[in-house]
Structure formats: C-alpha cells, structure tokens
Amino acid sequence: MNLISNEKVPIFFVESGKVEMVEKVYKGDEDWLEILTPEQFQVARKKGTEMAFTGRYHDCHEDGVYRCVCCDTDLFDSKTKFDSGTGWPSFWEPVAMENMVHVEDRSLFMVRTEVLCARCDAHLGHVFDDGPPPTGKRYCMNSASLKLVKRP
C-alpha cells in the first residue's frame, strides 16, 4: 500500500543541475517487494549488507550516475568512485548532501554513520573518515541499493 504524504524534500538532480522540491516516497513492504529483488529489499529496506566482493558495482568502472534503486534519486557520480579495497563500491563524495541523510548506527557493537536516501529512506551503506582527498570520506555503499545510469 502506498502511503500518501504531502511532505516534500529538496533533491538535487544531476541532469538539470538544480535542486527541486519533490514528494517524499513512502511505501509499504508489499509495494517494495513488487519492484525490488529479494536482495535489494533486504539491503535497502531492511538495512542488510551484501557480502564483500559480491556486489554488481564493487569493481565497476563505467561512467555514469549511481541512483537509489528504490526511488531513482541521484546519489553518486562515477567520477568520485575509487577502489577502497573493501569489496564494496566506495565514493569520496555524493552528488549533493541534500540527497542523503546521515544517522548514527550503533548496531554490531560499534558506532558508525549510516547513509540513507533522503527521498525514500533506503539504507545505502555507511560513511567513514578514511577516504582519499579531497574530502577524506569513504562512502561505502551496497551495490544492491544502487543502480548505475550510464552516460551516453
């Protein structure tokens, strides 16, 4: 069941280069299960994690924009992707901070910063302070939460 909401959030669109106010996406599990694979649902909606070195994008070098698998929000440009050696796709910068939310995650007996899609609250992965210049950040994402839209 799609849940109706009048809530709007600012989202940056790479193609237009502009921030637009768009409706927040709320859906029930049944609706997500209709559009996501079981792995995408487990990772993006239930805060799971794919196994290292198994994800579709961990060793991908194609040019494009990585979007949220749930709502198509632009998240990362392939130009900011780097090989972190962790087995997950890693980026040193998102396309826009408006497009994601950072929350404290105290699961697994540690404190980390979880990264969620700002439009639909999909679990994307975690961000760490051990990335390369210029930001020093490592956005360690799950391939199952992303979809690459290649540039022509």
C-alpha 38/C-alpha 109 separation (Å) is 26
CB count in 10 Å sphere of residue 107: 9
Residue 70 is encoded by which pair of tokens? 């749930």
Concerning whether 120 is annotated as a catalytic residue, the answer is: no
The catalytically annotated residue of 70, 71, 117, 140 is: 140
Q: How far apart are CA 91 and CA 93, in angstroms?
A: 6
Catalytic (active-site) positions: 140
